Amino acid sequence: MMVGTDGSEGDAIHIEFDELEKAGISPLHVLQMTTLSGAEFLGRLDDMGTVEAGKNADLVLLDGDPIESVQNLHKINAVIRAGSYHSKDELDFIKKKYTNEK
């Protein structure tokens, strides 16, 4: 199984995390479904899906351990995407701008 959503709302994937937790799936398995399983499905384990030297370095930095609780996947502190660091303040600004333009 993989985590993914066709929803256009930014919180859709977080709703999916919560539903998986309600279904009794462990936090570790939800994390693997969010990272490793997608890379495996795409045949991209050589360059994504885990944090290792030589792989793409797109990361979501959390304020809590996602293996302890699925709820910690909601606690985004920063994102590193394509070599650029985006702080929580910047992410909140982008989210506010995006949701106000709808």
Reading phi first (left if > 0) and then psi (alpha if -120 to 50, else beta), residue 91 is in alpha
pLDDT of residue 4: 78
Q: State the Cα–Cα distance between residues 12 and 9, nearest whole angstrom.
A: 6
Task: Examine the pLDDT at 80 and tell me if it is beyond 60.
Answer: yes
pLDDT digits (tens, 9 = 90+) for 23-60: 999 999 999 998 999 899 999 999 999 999 989 888 99
pLDDT of residue 8: 60
pLDDT of residue 64: 96
